[in-house]
Amino acid sequence: MKIIKGGVTAPKGFLAGSTSCGIKKSKKTDLALLFSTTPCISSGTFTTNRVKSGSVVLCMQRIAKGVSQGIIVNSGNANCCVGKKEIKDAMDITEAASARLGIKKDLMLMASTGIIGRPLPGAKIKNGLSALVGDLSAANGTSFAKAIMTTDTVHKEIAVQINIKGRAVRVAGAVKGAGMICPNMATMLAFFTTDAAIKKDALKQAFKESVYDSFNRITVDGDMSTNDSAIILANGQAENSVIKKNTRDYFIFLEAVKFAAKELSRKIVLDGEGATRFVEITVKGAKTEISAELVARRIANSNLVKTMIAGGDPNWGRIAAASGSSGADINPDRMDIYFGKVLVMKNGAGVNVSRGLLLDIFRKKEIEIVVDLKSGKHADRIWTCDFTEEYVKINAEYET
Amino acid sequence: MKIIKGGVTAPKGFLAGSTSCGIKKSKKTDLALLFSTTPCISSGTFTTNRVKSGSVVLCMQRIAKGVSQGIIVNSGNANCCVGKKEIKDAMDITEAASARLGIKKDLMLMASTGIIGRPLPGAKIKNGLSALVGDLSAANGTSFAKAIMTTDTVHKEIAVQINIKGRAVRVAGAVKGAGMICPNMATMLAFFTTDAAIKKDALKQAFKESVYDSFNRITVDGDMSTNDSAIILANGQAENSVIKKNTRDYFIFLEAVKFAAKELSRKIVLDGEGATRFVEITVKGAKTEISAELVARRIANSNLVKTMIAGGDPNWGRIAAASGSSGADINPDRMDIYFGKVLVMKNGAGVNVSRGLLLDIFRKKEIEIVVDLKSGKHADRIWTCDFTEEYVKINAEYET
């Protein structure tokens, strides 16, 4: 596997375009289109929030069939909490877009991100379609990644190439997300493309595993969005021998998707609203899988832990307190805590460590926290960021 | 019932004292003592965190017997995560204090608050005992309330008087708490005194109900402490006819304890770290009690909701999103949201309301958010505060 240049249009046969149709007051691009020149098999995972955007509802219905050819994305408006109009808008917009592209309307997916509770400006979007479709090009992967941004400070994309029985196959992705990033489908939009020829069940399985291990294992602020969507399109244009589940080729493909998803989820955390530090929380020695996850998530979502990291303050007591309140069945008298490789709490009691050493660890941009419960064999790992005054500023001022 | 002057020493026979023994670098008072001239029946509720301070462990053991006479409290050090020394320190300190007061050591309770993971300076505390006991006076209720503070900006106390069959009976309380305030025993210390003569089971029941309705229904930052303790001492010196469970007198007494507990819990939220606004979140129309509580707590602990309130921004979409991600079984298409009396979302869709009107509501110091799920008869209510840059500043700089 090697990293190659570009984003979602790096795989063969994928085009992207973007335009500014007037949803965002800033006049930045706010409408994006991803299109494959041939129909793709597709798979997706979506927010588990009970309150779902109309765009998500439409997408979930259409992707269930497993064949798609394009995704239209608007940023600046979530198309959520406006009633029945949401689904109607999503249907109208995808229908208009598919008509222009000459494909069946059911092949067009939609995703939205932005403010909740404000009707989507459907007319503006439809007026923008001509420019949007006109912009389609294999050179526009990066502008696609830019057009889906909201409070993101950088665009996020990646592309890799693997070799399937002598054929070059590409996997690529673009994501947006910086706030409302939380357990179970981080608040984000993630779009993956691949020119692999692959069986539908193999694509679904590989994508599910990759999302579980990446986007479902990050948190910025513990708030779960109404719009989370992760979608993969595979158009088969690499003309490799078709990848089947649980074969050697499958695992090569899986590794590529996992790598791309992890890299992109890492970029989301690094771009977390107001974040200045990347934090990896590992919990091991747990009695059960769920215990490991509960403790890791509780630490990752603790405001006291996250502000402590923002302050560069190695106050491990807050990690112990968060672990104890996670609801997991833990024995505090067996618990060890490490900052990086340095043991700071052993069997529930503080260890005498040079404060200078810990301050050095906390000055780094990447901080590793390890909790060893020494009670079993299960482990989990969550990525998060610190919690700064800047986060509050961004979210107090985010305009309704 | 009437509110009277003073705090924990307003009921007959209670004395309080405080001193500065050197735990806090600031030289502020950091050691406090509450003492009844006669033994009391006692009851308490404590943190459900698996990681518990040695002071809490000792207290839980001793209060199980239901007879106590004094409480020694230190602020500035949590006596937690230092291993077996925690319990030994708590035993030594309470033993030394009880010896000076001439009471049995098992009658002395202990509470600690402050930094986790640093050994309690037992020698400093023992050296301070002479000044502490020498300061005991019925006039020192307020200085007791001040000595238990950590990041609190104001001391918090209340006293009320009720009439039990012609006898004046007093109920009073003092609390500390400003951060690490969370579901299930807010991170706080709460000490209640009463001169009521009351049966042990009646005291226990009344106190449990009062805590459930007050301290267990507030949240500042969603972090649960290792040291939460709420304790009530009843010395019977009002010489009223003994209050028995579920009698008319019991309900008069219950009302007084509930009132005091609610007032003090309200003061904690108002003094929440960095808080500028008091927020009442009411969820009604829930299918089950647990659904109501899940939704209310999710909203109350949502950083996006809390920063929005800090910013004075009536972005109700964040409330809808938080509700939907609470895990409760809700129907988004039936959900209504109100700011104060103003309906902003009806049946899952935004209502056209003047933005000026909403901005006015959000300029107030007290904000009421009501979510009506219209799916059943259950309700819950949680008090919280907004989430400001100041909170982050306080917690990023809190010294280890």
Distance in angstroms between the alpha carbons of the first and the last residue of chain A: 44
What is the structure's pLDDT at B307?
87
Q: What is the 3 state secondary structure string of chain A? A: CEEECCCCCCCCCEEEEEECCCCCCCCCCCEEEEEEEEEEEEEEEECCCCCCCHHHHHHHHHHCCCEEEEEEEEEEECCCCECCHHHHHHHHHHHHHHHHHCCCHHHEEEEEEEECCCCCCHHHHHHHHHHHHHCCECCCHHHHHHHCCCCCCCCEEEEEEEEECCEEEEEEEEEECCCCCCCCCCCCEEEEEECCCECHHHHHHHHHHHHHHCHHHEECCCCCCCCCEEEEEECCCCCCCCECCCCHHHHHHHHHHHHHHHHHHHHHHHCCCCCCCEEEEEEEEECCHHHHHHHHHHHHCCHHHHHHHHCCCCCCHHHHHHHHCCCCCCCHHHCEEEECCEEEEECCEECCCCHHHHHHHHHCCEEEEEEECCCCCEEEEEEEECCCHHHHHHHHHCCC
What is the structure's pLDDT at A186?
40
Chain B residue with minimum CA distance to A344: B117
Question: Are residues B389 and A387, on separate chains, in Cβ contact within 8 Å?
Answer: no
Chain B residues touching residue A287 (CB < 8 angstroms): none
CB B201, CB B242: distance < 8 Å: no
Distance from the Cα of B366 to chain A's closest Cα (Å) equals 17
Chain A residues touching residue B395 (CB < 8 angstroms): 303-304, 307-308, 311
Average pLDDT taken over every residue of chain B: 92
Chain A residue with minimum CA distance to B390: A389
Nearest to A206 by CA among A237, A243, A236: A243
Work out how many CB contacts closer than 8 A connect A with B.
Answer: 229
d(CA B342, CA B339): 5
Question: Are residues A332 and B50, on separate chains, in Cβ contact within 8 Å?
Answer: yes
Question: Are residues A400 and B324, on separate chains, in Cβ contact within 8 Å?
Answer: no
Whether pLDDT at B1 is above 80: yes
Range with the largest mean pLDDT of A31-45, A165-179, B143-157, B346-360:
A31-45
**Test mutation, B219, B304, B315, B334, chain A, max A CBs within 10 A:** B304
Q: Which residue numbers of A are catalytic?
A: 187
Q: Do domains B2-270 and B278-397 have the same CATH topology?
A: no
Chain A residue with minimum CA distance to B326: A49
CB A348, CB A332: distance < 8 Å: yes
For residue range B267-308, what is the model confidence (pLDDT) as tens digits? 988 887 788 899 999 999 999 999 999 999 999 988 889 888
Partner residue opposite A223 with nearest CB, options B225, B322, B335: B322
Residue type, B182: C
Question: Are residues A314 and B400, on separate chains, in Cβ contact within 8 Å?
Answer: yes
Chain A residue with minimum CA distance to B53: A321
- Mutual angle of helices A248-270 and A200-213, in 10-degree steps: 40
**Test mutation, B49, B57, B89, B307, chain A, max A CBs within 10 A:** B307
CB atoms within 10 A of CB A130: 11
Among A394-398, B3-7, B208-212, which is the least confidently predicted range? A394-398
Question: Are residues B395 and A307, on separate chains, in Cβ contact within 8 Å?
Answer: yes
**Test mutation, A47, A79, A184, A307, chain B, max B CBs within 10 A:** A307
User: For domain B278-397, is the CATH number 3.10.20.340?
Assistant: yes
d(CA B202, CA B249): 11
Sole residue written with tokens 């992207």 = A16
Each domain of chain B, given as residue ranges in start order, spans 2-270, 278-397
What is the structure's pLDDT at B270?
87
Chain B residue with minimum CA distance to A349: B82
Q: B64 CB contacts (<8 Å, ≥6 apart)?
A: none
Determine the average pLDDT of the residues in B19-28: 92
Whether pLDDT at B395 is above 80: no
What is the structure's pLDDT at B185?
38
Q: A325 CB contacts (<8 Å, ≥6 apart)?
A: A298, B48, B49, B50, B51, B182, B223, B224
CB B318, CB B340: distance < 8 Å: no
Chain A residues touching residue B51 (CB < 8 angstroms): 320-321, 323-325, 332, 335, 348
Question: Are residues B83 and A348, on separate chains, in Cβ contact within 8 Å?
Answer: yes
CB atoms within 10 A of CB A265: 27
Question: Are residues B50 and A310, on separate chains, in Cβ contact within 8 Å?
Answer: no
Distance from the Cα of A222 to chain B's closest Cα (Å) equals 7
Partner residue opposite B389 with nearest CB, options A51, A313, A389: A389
What is the structure's pLDDT at B179?
61
Partner residue opposite A81 with nearest CB, options B80, B118, B317: B317
Question: Are residues A391 and B307, on separate chains, in Cβ contact within 8 Å?
Answer: yes
Of B94, B187, B193, B219, which is the active-site residue? B187
d(CA B181, CA B183): 7
Q: Give me the torsion for CA of B163, B168, B174, B180, rounded to 10°.
A: -20
Choice between B388 and B14, residue whose per-residue pLDDT is larger: B14
What is the structure's pLDDT at A25?
87
Distances (CA, A) of A41 to A38, A70, A159, B178: 10, 11, 19, 54
Chain A residues touching residue B350 (CB < 8 angstroms): 81-83, 117-119
Question: Are residues A349 and B83, on separate chains, in Cβ contact within 8 Å?
Answer: yes
Question: Are residues A225 and B321, on separate chains, in Cβ contact within 8 Å?
Answer: yes
Distance from the Cα of A123 to chain B's closest Cα (Å) equals 20
What is the structure's pLDDT at A58?
97
Question: Are residues B396 and A310, on separate chains, in Cβ contact within 8 Å?
Answer: yes
Distance from the Cα of B230 to chain A's closest Cα (Å) equals 18
d(CA B142, CA B278): 24
CA B285 and chain centroid, separation:
28
Distance from the Cα of A157 to chain B's closest Cα (Å) equals 26
What is the structure's pLDDT at A167?
96
What is the structure's pLDDT at B173?
97
Chain A residue with minimum CA distance to B306: A396
Question: Are residues A51 and B324, on separate chains, in Cβ contact within 8 Å?
Answer: yes
Highest CATH level, class, for A2-268: alpha beta
Chain A residues touching residue B224 (CB < 8 angstroms): 321, 324-325
What is the structure's pLDDT at B222?
62
Q: Superfamily for B2-270? A: L-amino peptidase D-ALA esterase/amidase (3.60.70.12)
Question: Are residues B302 and A223, on separate chains, in Cβ contact within 8 Å?
Answer: yes
d(CA B237, CA A25): 69
Question: Are residues B52 and A332, on separate chains, in Cβ contact within 8 Å?
Answer: yes
Query: What is the mean pLDDT for each group of 10 consecutive residues in chain A (400 residues)?
Result: 96 98 92 98 92 94 96 94 93 97 97 90 96 97 95 92 96 84 57 97 96 86 78 97 97 96 92 86 96 94 88 88 90 95 94 92 93 97 88 66
Chain A residue with minimum CA distance to B387: A392
Chain B residues touching residue A311 (CB < 8 angstroms): 395-398
Chain A residue with minimum CA distance to B50: A324
Beta-sheet pairing, B229-234 with B31-46: antiparallel
pTM: 0.84
